[in-house]
Structure 1
């Protein structure tokens, strides 16, 4: 197979500001380069390296003026996306720091351990309702 890794995932949102706040202040990504597409949005990066075009792409949906978005990506009537996505998972580290951030920002989460895999799993939701799974080494569990 020639596919080597997931490049990014995209989320459509009617609240671009809330999504930007979640992905920068909670998840710790930074807003970076994004071409001048005919619709609002953000590309979010883990660090200063922009060679892979970001990890998360936020697509702003303006119900009053969606022609640029519809022309470029097609119509998604009802906002139900392109399928039944359940969640997005990231490998992560520094759980203690993230836990503190989640508490300070009052972001609800569920914590589970999977001993056989050596994982601490943390589940939370972004402002558009997408479930995010953060996988930490089990040694970082509380």
Structure 2
């Protein structure tokens, strides 16, 4: 052990030792707010941390940044009807099989929509739930809208050139939109 680390230990400072060849991992798709790279003092690339402000002051300490919503879990009393609606009408694919549950890939393929079968009565609007949105590329959105119309599913609420609102078999309001 050389003198510098020993002096730090004597003063009560503890620094983790790293092997010289180890690289710090980089997120290949950084989320917004984490753009840009910077060089670590030893020349290695490191992800830049966002500046977080609380009540106008710079926050200190550890910063936790979410990489986004990964899944949404909802209750259903009829798993078969829910599967038919989301697969055949909206064109979503099953992410993976699971008994008593339905896991669907959202249109972008990065997030999951999860339905859990229950016998208990529930109210989709409980707890202030309003709706959730599924984003489609414009050509696919047009096909999905045509399928919704062909199925006789009522479009309700706000509507426009890039979004419609429908109700699924469980009573959840689903926004179908494109950019």
Counterpart CA distance in 2 for 1:128 and 1:8 is 18
1:116 is aligned to none
1:56 aligns with 2:119: no
Give 1:12 shift: 0.7
1:129 aligns with 2:171: yes
User: Aligned pairs, how many?
Assistant: 111
Counterpart CA distance in 1 for 2:78 and 2:98 is 20
Instruction: Map Cα deviations across residues 25-49 of structure 1 (whole Å, 9 max, x no partner).
Output: 122111231456xxx11111247x6
Counterpart CA distance in 2 for 1:98 and 1:33 is 22
* Higher helix content, 1 or 2: 1
2:30 is aligned to none
TM-score, length basis structure 2: 0.53
TM-score, length basis structure 1: 0.66
2:150 to 104, 118, 128: 104
Runs of 5+ unmatched residues, structure 1: 64-77, 114-118, 138-142
- Runs of 4+ in structure 1 over 6 Å off: none
RMSD of equivalent CA atoms = 2.4
Runs of 5+ unmatched residues, structure 2: 1-63
Could you say which structure has the greater relative contact order, defined with CA pairs below 8 angstroms and 6 or more residues apart?
A: 1
Larger radius of gyration: 2
3-state SS of the aligned residue for 1:109?
coil
